[in-house]
Amino acid sequence: MTRQQLVRAVLLPMAVPVLVVVLAWIFAGSIDPYQLDVATSLLILLAAAQAWNILAGFTGQFSLGTSAFIGTGAYTTVLVMTKWGLNPWTALLLSGVAGAGVAAVLAPALLRLRGDYFTIGTLAAALGVQAWAVNFDLVGRSSGIDVPFDKLPFPVDLFRIALVVAASAAVVSVWFAGSRFGLQLSAVGQDQDAAVGLGLNVFRLRLVTFLTSGFLTGTAGAVLALQQVHVEPTGSLGITWTISVVLMTIVGGLGTRLGPLVGVVVIYLGVTKQFAEQPITGLVVQGLMLILVVRFAPKGLWPLAAELVGGRLARQRATHDPVAETMMTG
C-alpha cells in the first residue's frame, strides 16, 4: 500500500470523526439537557455497533455477546468508582481493559474454531455473565449496584465522554477498514482457508479484532453506567443490547464504515424510541426488519443509498470522463 493510498483510505476518513468530536465538544455547552441525553444514548449505541461491526462485518465473526461486554464495562465502572474512588475517565479506561479481558478469557474457547461456534459461544458467554451477576454479592445480585452520586459527571461532561468513546470506535473502524491490516482482516472474513493459504496468522488477526471490539464495547458500557447510574443484570446485561446492535449494523450496512452510524440513527429514532412503550410490538418490528433486510436488501441501507447516489453520479460523469467511472467503482 502506497503512502498516497494510506492517506486516502485511512488518514483522511479518520480526520472526520476527530473533527466532529472537536466541534461537538465545543458546542456541547449550548445544547439542552434532554437533547444531550438522547445524543449520549445514540453515541453509546454507535460505539457498540461499530465495535460489533469490526467483529462481524470485517472478520465475519458473528458475535451474540455484546451484552456481556456492555455489562462488564458498566459493572467495572461502578466497582472502580465505588471501591477505589476513581474518576469517570479512569473508570472508562479500566472498563475497556475489563472488556478486552473478558475477550482474552474467551479467546481460547472461541477463536480456534469456525465462526458458527463463535456465535453460540458468545451467546453462552452472555448468558453466563448474566447468570453470574444475578448470583454474586460483589455486584449486588439481581438488585444491582449504583454509581456513587457525588462522582457522577454533569450531562455535558458525560456527553463529551460518550463523544470520545464513539469517535475512538470510528477511528478504529476506519483503520481496520482501510489499512493493510484491514485488508488482512477482510481476507479472514471472506475465506478463512484462503487467508491461511496467504500465510496470514488467522488466530492472531481474529484475536486482535476480538480484543479491540471487547475494549470498545466495554467503554460503551462504562458510559451507559454513568448515564443510567443504576446497573443491574436485566438492564445492563440483557440480550436487548445485542439485538439492538445487530439490528442497527445489519440495517445500516454490515462491514461498511458508515453502516453502523446510519443504522443507529434510523433504528434508534425510528424503532427504539417509537416502541419504547410497547416492547412486544417493538420486538415484532425488530424481528421483521432483520428478516426483510437480509432477504431483500442484504447489504443494508447505507451501501444501497451509496449505490443509488454513486451510480447516478458515475453515469453523469461517464458522459464526459470514462476514467471517473472506473475510479468510482474501483
The region of 54-62, 169-177, 264-272, 310-318 touching another protein under the rule CB under 8 A is 54-62
- Residue closer to another protein by CB (options 36, 254) is 254
What number of other Cβ atoms are within 10 A of residue 163's Cβ? 24
Query: Pattern 284-303, binding to another protein, x per CB under 8 A?
Result: x-xxxxxx-xxx--x-----
Kindly state whether residue 110 participates in binding another protein, applying the rule CB under 8 A: yes
What is the rounded distance in angstroms from the CA atom of residue 242 to the CA atom of residue 225? 17
Question: What's the angle, vertex CA 46, arms to CA 164 and CA 174, rounded to 5?
Answer: 70
**Which residue, 227 or 286, has its beta carbon nearer to another protein?**
286
Q: Which of residues 223-282 bind another protein (CB under 8 A)?
A: 239, 243, 246, 250, 254, 280-281
Q: What crossing angle do the helices spanning 279-296 and 239-252 adopt, rounded to 10°? A: 40
- Identify the H or E element spanning 230: strand 230-231
Sole window of 21-29, 38-46, 121-129, 207-215 interacting with another protein (rule: CB under 8 A): 121-129
| Residue 131 touches another protein, criterion: CB under 8 A | yes
- The Cα 139–Cα 145 span in angstroms is 6
Cβ proximity to another protein: between 21 and 68 the closer is: 68
Amino acid, single-letter form, for residue 70:
I
3 sits near another protein (criterion: CB under 8 A)? no
Beta-strand runs (E) in 13-100: none
Scored b (16 or more CB within 10 A) or e, 298-307 reads: ebbbbbeebe
**What residues make contact with another protein under the rule CB under 8 A?**
56, 60, 62, 64, 106, 108-110, 112-117, 119-121, 123-125, 127-128, 131-132, 134-135, 239, 243, 246, 250, 254, 280-281, 283-284, 286-291, 293-295, 298
